[in-house]
Structure 1
Amino acid sequence: MLSRVFGFGRRSFDSLSEREILALAISSEEDDGRIYRAYADGLREEFPQSARIFDEMAEEEDGHRAALIELHRARFGERIPLIRREHVRGYYERKPDWLVRPLGIDHVRNMAGEMERQARRFYVEAARRASDAATRKLLGDLAAAEQSHESLAHRLGLEHTPDDVRQDERRTEKRQFVLTYVQPGLAGLMDGSVSTLAPIFAAAFATHDTWQTFLVGLAASVGAGISMGFTEVASDDGRLSGRGSPIKRGLATGIMTTVGGLGHALPYLIPHFSTATAVAIAIVFVELWAIAWIQNRFMETPFWRASFQVVLGGALVFAAGMLIGNA
């Protein structure tokens, strides 16, 4: 662990020979090509136009790698030393595509631009170290190419993804975010906030014991969260509906269900019953209006309709809890 943090066991860039610099450049170009193809594969189904951008960028990296290999073959022979980014202290790192998912369109384009800037800085420094004229020329040419490629994603984007296509892609990305996270999370928040009102306030008015009420609220919230999460996972695998990973949806639903219930259960940690109840009612009011706002913001439900539905439903459940608790 310490060796990874402090760079123990790694070579400094200044200690590399020209042969090792070429080998490092070859492996770096190979890695970048793989990353761009992974980006293309991850985007191809939903964003085919943007996927073409990264296919072409991968081909560019293949061309750089081929030129570097030919130079190495001419100067040093067929055997290329094994040296990679992680072997050099202070060298820039690349994150594989599975560490940066979900692959948002703008996020991936920005990452591609940063990759090209890092590669350009490497070739500038490598060219300064080269004594052979052919090597210096190739490294300098690659540095210039990477500098021009900093805007490659943008230029290819203008070619392959005009404004109307980009707008469609952003709409698709927003829709996927809503289906995978917002909709399940909103369902959980509504269930946790509304369905737990009756047991919590029934227990509160029946016992006037804040600690017992908190325990009832905690059990109801956690139990509802677990139930809703497993129900969401089991109800739809996302393949036909396009709603995304069932695990992600289940986590969003379960967590938000628990949060919704705990919101008005936690005030009962206050030992004074009247104060705890007043705070809990105030939190319920905030929760219900937050649900209405989320429905309006992400689900495009008219605010007055969302407010009426949520507030009316919450008021009815709250009244049921009070009546049962005072029976």
Structure 2
Amino acid sequence: MSDILEQASQAAGFGDERAFLLRVVQPGLAGLMDGSVSTLAPIFATAFATKNSHTVFLIGAASAVGAGISMAFSEGLSDDGQLTGRGSPVVRGLVTGGMTFLGGFLHTLPFLLPNVHHALIAAYIVVGVELMIIAWIRYKYFSSSFAMSLVQVVLGGALVFAAGVIIGSS
């Protein structure tokens, strides 16, 4: 792993790379993936059903906040860290919840644009960037093939996006 990861883990008091991966990177990645993918269906369903950017923004923001809270509690309550060595459940919960919120809220921001068609184009771009970042994190920290990670992440995102489009167009 890179010197940057080692320095960050030391500065944060995690002691070693493995602890940093288990306590910060993995919960953060899980949150980012969940937020980026799980909020696609409600956001795009609302966009196609209402064609109203303000409404989409409200639904997206609510989805991101709700997903963040849910994932924070889920991660925090799933493991006290004693048996697995994954560290403080509060820290993992905050990391997971924060990254879940971020992943869902980033592609909500374009809907601050009043024109829903322009907002959709911007949101498509943001989602694409999010998915590439997720694939890169998997490649960098978990020795996954970048190409395979990208295929897996895009496939998951496409399935959820399609569900939102189908439901929103009904």
Tell whether the structures are fold-level matches, with TM greater than 0.5: yes
Residue number in structure 2 paired with 1:304: 147
In the alignment, is residue 233 of structure 1 matched against residue 76 of structure 2? yes
Write the letter of the residue equivalent to 1:275: H
**In the alignment, which residue of structure 1 is the partner of 2:165?**
322
AA partner of residue 90 (structure 2): I
Shift in alpha-carbon separation, 1:269–1:234, aligned structure 2, 3 A? same
Asked if the contact 2:14–2:20 (Cα under 8 Å) also holds between the matched residues in 1, the reply is no
| 1:240 to partner: Cα distance | 0.8
Q: Deviations over 1:53-99 (max 9, x none)?
A: xxxxxxxxxxxxxxxxxxxxxxxxxxxxxxxxxxxxxxxxxxxxxxx
| SS class of match (1:268) | helix
Structure 2 length-normalised TM: 0.91
Give 3-state SS (helix, strand or coil) of 1:198's partner.
helix
Q: Does 1:292 align with 2:135?
A: yes
Describe the shift of the 1:271–1:240 C-alpha distance in structure 2 as closer, same or farther (beyond 3 A): same
For these two proteins, the number of residue pairs brought into alignment is 160
In the TM superposition, what whole-angstrom CA distance separates every residue of 1:172-196 from its partner, at most 9, and x where no partner exists?
A: x111100000000000000000010
Gaps of 5+ in 2: 1-10
Give the equivalent residue in structure 2 for 1:102: 13
1:175 aligns with 2:18: yes
Q: 2:42 aligned to 191, 199, 208, which one?
A: 199
Question: Deviation per CA, 1:146-168, whole angstroms, max 9, x where unpaired?
Answer: xxxxxxxxxxxxxxxxxxxxxxx
Tell whether 2:97 aligns with 1:247.
Answer: no
**What amino acid is the match of 2:29?**
L
Please give the alpha-carbon distance, in whole angstroms, between the structure 1 residues aligned to 2:20 and 2:35: 21
User: How far apart are the structure 1 equivalents of 2:90 and 2:142?
Assistant: 22
Q: Which runs of 5+ in 1 are unaligned?
A: 1-99, 105-172
Change (3 A) 1:208 1:175: same
Structure 2 residue matching 1:238: 3-state secondary structure? coil
| Amino acid corresponding to residue 13 of structure 2 in structure 1 | P
Distance 1:259 1:266 in 2: 11
> Separation in 1 of the partners of 2:14 and 2:154?
37
Deviation at 1:219, TM superposition (A): 0.4
CA gap 1:209/1:306 in 2 versus in 1, 3 angstroms:
same
Q: Residue 80 of structure 2: SS of its match in structure 1?
A: coil
Give the deviation of 1:210 after TM superposition: 0.3
For 1:103 and 1:313, the matched residues in 2 are separated by: 32
- Give the superposition deviation at 1:302: 1.5
Residue 93 of structure 1 corresponds to none
Tell me, what secondary structure is at the counterpart of 1:242? coil
Q: What's the offset of the Cα at 1:308?
A: 1.0
Secondary structure in 1 matching 2:101 = helix
After superposition, residues 38-187 of structure 1 pair within 5 angstroms as 102=13, 104=15, 173-187=16-30
Identity across the alignment (%): 57
**1:17-56 maps to which residues of 2 (within 5 A)?**
none
| Cα distance in 1 for residues equivalent to 2:160 and 2:123 | 14
Which of the pair has more CA radius of gyration?
1
CA RMSD in angstroms comes to 1.1
| Counterpart amino acid of residue 298 in structure 1 | Y
SS of alignment partner, residue 279 of structure 1 = helix
Deviations 1:83-131 (A, max 9, x none): xxxxxxxxxxxxxxxxx76164xxxxxxxxxxxxxxxxxxxxxxxxxxx
| 2:134/2:153 contact within 8 Å kept | yes
| Cα separation, 1, equivalents of 2:144 and 2:89 | 25
TM-score, reference length from structure 1: 0.48
What is the CA deviation profile of residues 228-250 of structure 1, one whole-angstrom value per residue up to 9, with x for unaligned ones?
00110100010110111111100
> 1:322 is aligned with what amino acid?
V
